[in-house]
Structure 1
Amino acid sequence: MTFNAVTFTVFLVLIAVVTVMGFVASRWRRAKQADRLDEWALGGRTFGPFVTWFLLGGDLYSAYTLIAVPAAIFSMGAFGFYAVPNAIVLYALGFLFLPKLVSLAHKKGYVTLTDFVNDRFGSKALSLAITITGLLATLPYLALQLVGLEVVFGALGIGGSGSWFVRDLPLLIAFGVLAAYTYSAGLRAPALIAFVKDGLTYLVVIAAVIWVPIKLGGFGEIFRKGGAALAGKTTSTLDPAIAVNPSVYLTLALGSGMAFFLYPHAITGVFASRGAKTVRRNMSVLPIYTVLLGFVALLGMMALAMGVKPHDGNPQYAVPQLLSAVFPPWLTGVAYAAIAMSALVPAAIMAIAAGNLVSRNLYRQYRTKPVSAKSETLVSKVVSVLVKVGALVFVLTLDAKFALNFQLLGGIWILQTLPTVLFGLFTKRFADRRALLAGLLVSVVYGTWAAYQVKSATGGPFGGSTAKPFFLDSPIYIAISALALNFAVVVLGSVLARALGAHPRAAGVAEEPVAASN
């Protein structure tokens, strides 16, 4: 990758602008009681429809999305388009349960999903399991944002040679800046930066879907050349039978969509909204982003048609190299800045979410002495920095494939918290807390084991997330088969508990959740 002074200058100026915005955000809508956790971590729960729309968009469409989705098209063809129906599923499911959950969060002061589980079921064991699952699913996701930054720096032609310190210096600087303004401003920083990030992303993607087809002779020519390029590929990392299997495509889209709003960082963005009506409106209009996602996916096909040869054979460089080849240097700088911001915004929210889980559901819950609001907030701030350090060490010391493989596992694990959330929100006396815990543990163990079995076939550690369950002849997304097992354990366990005459409180039934309000 070659260094271009104009591209780098534009990139640097835009990153400097959003860095200043990150620090200024600490004064944006600043509350009188700034030491409270929900002020720092949730922006005081004051974000209306407009701010929430940008914040959730910044949370959903990360650098990994902008790089990995077209990279999947570049490597596998149409199979990579599963991300589009995936987005449709997540908004529909969000419309179903998020308004009710947010209403409860406002009334009862929930900061994390574990707070809801604690209040609903009164089980420390179940709450601890939900907390640990959330942390384990978030950390590799955060690491992947730093991998996205690495790709941008590599495309810029900086930090690619010399000693390890010089090579990784750009990432170290970006980490330091991210950690500083997140510590200072909390969720207000990514919320403010998301305005710029989303605006630049729309600009770059729209420019690409107009500019590239003109250059290549139209979309018909793009698909013709891209199809020919795909036909000549030999894909060593994917089973060809799985790549075209409808059951994999459908279950991967369904499972990924159902899982997203269970991630701690997604819940953090939702809980920061003003109320149930704000969330309901956003679930109605956020599908506009799906149009953008479809265009982003098309960039992978355009890279194929352009004959892009990714740097070091890494398909994640396909989009940066495509944009560098077709855009003038200044617009390439804008594009790289948009991708970098798409790493910084979700990384900040993920770090805050991890800090909330540790401070609220580990430190506060298990500390024997009373915990003040100020100390709880301080712990969350410190942990938000520490998890970034952990993600940075992970990225710098291990192959990026490890982060991807663990993120795949994280997706399998986090979906297994769905029965607890749905039963907690929509049933009064059926779900038994012990059955919910058993279902979560059994499904996580099964999902991990199934992913490990895929490793044996592909040669990489936990190298896949699709396998044939015992009850089907076709491969499906492992998280879906684990979820089916999860629901079976919960239903059978709850029926057994009721048959044995378990007391409702012992069975984990708390007060009926309050109906959602506007």
Structure 2
Amino acid sequence: MAPLALQPVALVVFLVLFALVTVLGFMGAKWRRGDLDTLHEWGLGGRRFGTLISWFLLGGDLYTAYTFVAVPALIYGAGAIGFFAVPYTIIIYPVLFVFFPRLWRVCKRNGYLTAPEFVRGRFDSRALSLAVAVTGILATMPYIALQLVGMQVVLAALGLQGSGIWADIPLFVAFIVLAAFTYTSGLRAPAIIAVVKDLLIYATVIAAAIVIPMQLGGWAKIFAAVPAAKLTLPVPGAASLGSYSAYATLALGSALALFLYPHSMTGILAASSGRVIKRNAALLPAYSLVLGLLALLGFMAIAYGVAKDPQFASGFAQYKGNFAVPALILKAFPGWFAGIAFAAIAIGALVPASIMSIATANIFTRDIYKAFLRPGATDLQESRMAKLISLIVKLGALAFILGLPATAAIEFQLLGGIWIIQTLPAIFCGLSRMRLRAGALLTGWACGMVVGTAMAASTGFKSAIFALHMGGLLAPGYAALYAVIINLIVSFGLSFLLNAMSQSSGRRDPAEHFEF
């Protein structure tokens, strides 16, 4: 099968924009100067990001390169079920508004840089904090790898293909650039680059929503070209909730999990105040509008018949449905605009990947290295360790992509969503004055991890949907949500028992001293 043709015009535009964001990344070290030899400045930007920068940073953090590629690909392949991403990104902002301004205030007051630090202080438990820290790191690693998958698809669309080591050189170059500006500038680098990335994505999606329907004869013809089975959710049978429960639980479970990821938490804790977080909870839904238009690119790709075009056969053979958006862009736009769109996707990989590596480095440094290995570490030792770990994390993600098929990253990301939501009781409920016990939360976490992983294993790690049988009713749903419900039941039930026992014995909860 012939490789994809080189796109010279698109490649030149792509390289110019990529060079621009590289320069901006290194300039981040001089923006809002701070002592980058302290973890507070390197890993959180000194908590000085206002409403506008936080808006771009969180948008760049949450709406990644893989989102740009995978959401339309899901619509392209599976149809309406993929639209769960739109209500999911609407639900997350009330969650942000309710919980995270308080978390920011508590962390600011106590000098916490990570969620596990908050958990350790709130429940006076190093074991529970370690469980939250390890969960966050494990859940984030495949997320970084998926950003590189998105970049691989773009590089292939530009015609940057080869055999052997030559095929991976563009990805190595992107990795070196990412590693260098993250190491030197910390969180300031993705904060600056996110502004460029988000503007490019807005331009690309809005142009596609206007130009492509005009080329295809209007939205009516686009929807007429889509098979009827993909336009709506299948109606479930009499004894099953079918796709309805799958859709609803995917939206709710994904929303509850998103801001628990370390990279999301890092973007939030870098804000300058709790009011900035509340403003962003009101402003960030603008991205949901863009996501809805982005999802429709999947239907546009069907209407354009990109999979039937022989010039894209190589891309679809290698990347399957993930190649639908690059093929659509190449088909519908001139080379110069394709270069802008592909740069938006590639930069959309750099921003979240750098934040994710910084977030995992913060957690390892504060909640493993300093908490267990070197309690007396100085600020300089902390920052050096964090910078080293950020490099190791990115190198691990690169090795993961180069050594394993892309499907492996997707399967591990499925597990990442199941795992990260198990930290919800310790973090969200920890923001209340409920008398939850560390031992009960740790037991609930373990139960949720085991049950959720078993649910995913029962599907061969191919699907996040678990077929739950409740009496005579079948309720397929998101395994992560089902697992965290079990986690909550165990955590609350065991806490109730432990509290009852402590009252009878006169013992006090060691976490009662915590001040909000």
TM-score of the superposed pair, with normalisation by structure 1: 0.93
Superposition deviation, residue 470 in structure 1: 4.6
Q: Which amino acid aligns with 1:315?
A: G
Superposition deviation, residue 2 in structure 1: 1.4
Query: Residue 297 and residue 366 in structure 1: after superposition, are their counterparts in 2 closer, same or farther (change >3 A)?
Result: same
- Between the aligned partners of 2:510 and 2:456, the Cα distance in structure 1 is 31
Superposition deviation, residue 244 in structure 1: 6.3
1:236 aligns with: none
Superposition deviation, residue 199 in structure 1: 0.4
1:77 aligns with: 79
1:272 aligns with: 270
Structure 1 spans left out of the alignment, 5+ residues? 232-240, 456-461
Superposition deviation, residue 469 in structure 1: 2.8
Q: Does 1:358 align with 2:389?
A: no
Q: Does 1:54 align with 2:56?
A: yes
Q: Name which of 131, 143, 158 aligns with 1:129.
A: 131
Q: Name which of 413, 422, 439 aligns with 1:407.
A: 413
2:448 aligns with: 443
Q: Which amino acid aligns with 2:387?
A: K
1:319 aligns with: 325
Indicate the SS of the match to 1:118.
helix
Superposition deviation, residue 372 in structure 1: 0.1
2:499 aligns with: 498
Residues 303-314 of structure 1 mapped to structure 2, 5 A cutoff: 303-309=301-307, 311-313=315-317, 314=320
Q: Is the 8 A contact 1:433 1:508 kept in 2?
A: no
502-511 or 380-389: which moved more?
502-511
100-109 or 63-72: which moved more?
100-109
Superposition deviation, residue 93 in structure 1: 0.7
Q: Is the 8 A contact 2:261 2:420 kept in 1?
A: yes
- Between the aligned partners of 1:368 and 1:331, the Cα distance in structure 2 is 51
- Between the aligned partners of 1:106 and 1:242, the Cα distance in structure 2 is 48
Superposition deviation, residue 34 in structure 1: 2.9
Residues 86-485 of structure 1 mapped to structure 2, 5 A cutoff: 86-158=88-160, 160-163=161-164, 165-227=165-227, 245-309=243-307, 311-313=315-317, 314-368=320-374, 370-428=376-434, 430-455=435-460, 462-471=461-470, 473-485=474-486
Superposition deviation, residue 35 in structure 1: 1.6
Query: Residue 393 and residue 255 in structure 1: after superposition, are their counterparts in 2 closer, same or farther (change >3 A)?
Result: same
- Between the aligned partners of 1:364 and 1:491, the Cα distance in structure 2 is 31
- Between the aligned partners of 1:432 and 1:129, the Cα distance in structure 2 is 15
Superposition deviation, residue 92 in structure 1: 1.1
Q: Is the 8 A contact 2:415 2:453 kept in 1?
A: yes
Superposition deviation, residue 400 in structure 1: 0.5
**Aligned-pair Cα RMSD in Å:** 1.7
Q: Does 1:30 align with 2:36?
A: no
- Between the aligned partners of 1:57 and 1:266, the Cα distance in structure 2 is 10
Indicate the SS of the match to 1:468.
strand
- Between the aligned partners of 1:506 and 1:297, the Cα distance in structure 2 is 52
- State percent identity of aligned pairs: 46
Where do 4+ consecutive residues of structure 1 move more than 6 Å?
Answer: 241-244, 502-506
- Between the aligned partners of 2:506 and 2:366, the Cα distance in structure 1 is 27
- Between the aligned partners of 1:422 and 1:170, the Cα distance in structure 2 is 41
Structure 2 spans left out of the alignment, 5+ residues? 232-238
Q: Which amino acid aligns with 1:478?
A: A
Q: Is the 8 A contact 1:23 1:185 kept in 2?
A: yes
Q: Name which of 1, 7, 12 aligns with 2:10.
A: 7
Q: Deviations over 1:160-207 (max 9, x none)?
A: 2222x1000000000000000000000000000001000010001000
Q: Deviations over 1:257-294 (max 9, x none)?
A: 11000000000000000010000000111001100000
Superposition deviation, residue 24 in structure 1: 0.7
- Between the aligned partners of 1:179 and 1:397, the Cα distance in structure 2 is 19
- Between the aligned partners of 1:66 and 1:467, the Cα distance in structure 2 is 26
Indicate the SS of the match to 2:462.
coil
- Between the aligned partners of 1:362 and 1:167, the Cα distance in structure 2 is 37
Q: Is the 8 A contact 2:469 2:475 kept in 1?
A: no
Indicate the SS of the match to 1:473.
strand
- Between the aligned partners of 1:206 and 1:277, the Cα distance in structure 2 is 30
- Between the aligned partners of 2:488 and 2:280, the Cα distance in structure 1 is 29
- Between the aligned partners of 2:257 and 2:507, the Cα distance in structure 1 is 29
- Between the aligned partners of 1:198 and 1:207, the Cα distance in structure 2 is 14
- Between the aligned partners of 1:366 and 1:251, the Cα distance in structure 2 is 38
Q: Is the 8 A contact 1:270 1:279 kept in 2?
A: yes
Superposition deviation, residue 468 in structure 1: 2.3
Superposition deviation, residue 467 in structure 1: 1.0
Superposition deviation, residue 358 in structure 1: 0.8
Query: Residue 60 and residue 493 in structure 1: after superposition, are their counterparts in 2 closer, same or farther (change >3 A)?
Result: same
Superposition deviation, residue 473 in structure 1: 2.0
Superposition deviation, residue 508 in structure 1: 4.9
Q: Is the 8 A contact 1:74 1:303 kept in 2?
A: yes
Q: Deviations over 1:102-131 (max 9, x none)?
A: 111111111110010011001111011000
Query: Residue 166 and residue 244 in structure 1: after superposition, are their counterparts in 2 closer, same or farther (change >3 A)?
Result: farther
- Between the aligned partners of 2:506 and 2:194, the Cα distance in structure 1 is 45
498-507 or 312-321: which moved more?
498-507
1:234 aligns with: none
Query: Residue 341 and residue 224 in structure 1: after superposition, are their counterparts in 2 closer, same or farther (change >3 A)?
Result: same
- Between the aligned partners of 2:422 and 2:514, the Cα distance in structure 1 is 22
Q: Which amino acid aligns with 1:64?
A: Y
- Between the aligned partners of 2:368 and 2:276, the Cα distance in structure 1 is 30
Query: Residue 114 and residue 28 in structure 1: after superposition, are their counterparts in 2 closer, same or farther (change >3 A)?
Result: same
Paired residues in the alignment total 495
Q: Deviations over 1:332-381 (max 9, x none)?
A: 00000000010000000000001001111111001255100010011001
